[in-house]
Chain A
Amino acid sequence: MTFTLLAEGVVAFLLVAGGMFAFTGSLGMLQFKDFFMRLHGPTKGTTLGIGCMLMASMLYFTVTQREFHVQELLITFFLFLTAPVTGHMLAKTGLHMHLRFITGTRGSLPELRDEDVGQSRVARPAKARHPWRTRRRSRQKPRLPR
């Protein structure tokens, strides 16, 4: 009885902690000022958040169903494999698109060779519309590129 209670407490704690980490990771997207800084939130905050929740899941099902549940480890494993790769691809795309970073970024960006960033500037996608602050603009048909 007390054991179940203890396990329940630990599971609850892990769930709350995981939620907090995931939340702060996402909050970083809002808080930080430029693209490269925003990368830091999702690559780190969320991995630990998911990790905590998976641990909670493992513990909960091991205790309640009285058999070992370890397949959640696989999710962690794949997440740790893929998250940094995604981060790297995003960062590299940012470099290719010559995204600006906030003034005060230290350490002069070492000169990027053509092989690093591509020879011509990559076009940016059209700006997304704000979900609710939509100003009525003149309704012209978007001009198609030739």
Chain B
Amino acid sequence: MKTLGRLLPTPTLSLVLLVVWLLLVRSIAPGQLILGAFLAVGIPLLTKGFWEPLPQVKHPLKLTWFVLKVLGDIFTANLQVSLLILSPKREPHPGFVEYPLQVKDPLTITMLANTITMTPGTVSTNIRLDRSSLLIHVLDMKDEQTLVREIHERYELPLKEIFEC
């Protein structure tokens, strides 16, 4: 078990690498499987020195659910932004919001910032160097408090559960 842990320090990354390789070559021939497995083991070992220690995915199922939810949100986000663009009468009220971060891990913050950028009317613009808060630009802002609470409940709490608890 210990040697396995040493060979595969990041099982999720290895799995992703294998799948990406198989998709790239478009075959599941045994030769490609072996080559893919070799890459999936080799690349994380070679690049291990560059990574900060990555958090473990504690709940893979919740991660899948989170990804699906974000995909749905991306769809609605697109519809909203398109409607806003196509209706010249409606003046959007843009604004900046400072969002206090509770998660502290770099990868989790990255995922949160990316999700914020992909979803309804918000783009993450800046992060404080001490990782205490995230500056968000909102396309059409109604209320600052509701927005912060919504992001917190919808994205930050699930991410926190997946990676940290």
Contact = CB atoms under 8 A, between A and B. Distances in A.
A122 interface: no
B135 interface: yes
Q: How large is the interface on A (under 10, 10 to 19, 20 to 34, 35 or more residues)?
A: 35 or more
Interface stretch (A1-9, A82-90, A123-131, A135-143): A82-90
A74 to B, nearest CB: 5
B118 interface: yes
A94 B125 contact: yes
A24 B82 CA distance: 6
Contacts of A74: 20, 23-24
B95 interface: yes
Given A74-B23, A104-B93, A105-B96, A24 B86 contact: yes
A84 B121 contact: no
Nearest to B26: A71
A106 B92 CA distance: 11
B129 interface: yes
Interface stretch (B58-66, B70-78, B156-164): B70-78
Interface stretch (B5-13, B39-47, B48-56, B137-145): B137-145
Contact of B129 (A47, A48, A94, A115): A115
Nearest to B141: A106
Contacts of B106: none
Contacts of A88: 113, 117, 123-125
Given A41-B81, A80-B118, A73 B23 contact: yes
Given A36-B94, A45-B78, A110-B135, A116 B128 contact: yes
Interface of A: 20-21, 24-25, 27-28, 31-32, 34, 36-37, 39-41, 43-45, 47-48, 70-71, 73-74, 77, 80-81, 83-85, 87-88, 91-92, 94-95, 101-102, 104-110, 112-113, 115-116
29 contacts: A24-B81, A24-B85, A25-B85, A28-B81, A34-B94, A36-B137, A39-B123, A40-B123, A45-B81, A45-B85, A47-B74, A48-B78, A80-B114, A81-B114, A84-B113, A84-B124, A87-B123, A87-B124, A88-B123, A91-B137, A95-B126, A105-B94, A106-B93, A106-B95, A106-B96, A107-B96, A107-B141, A109-B96, A115-B129
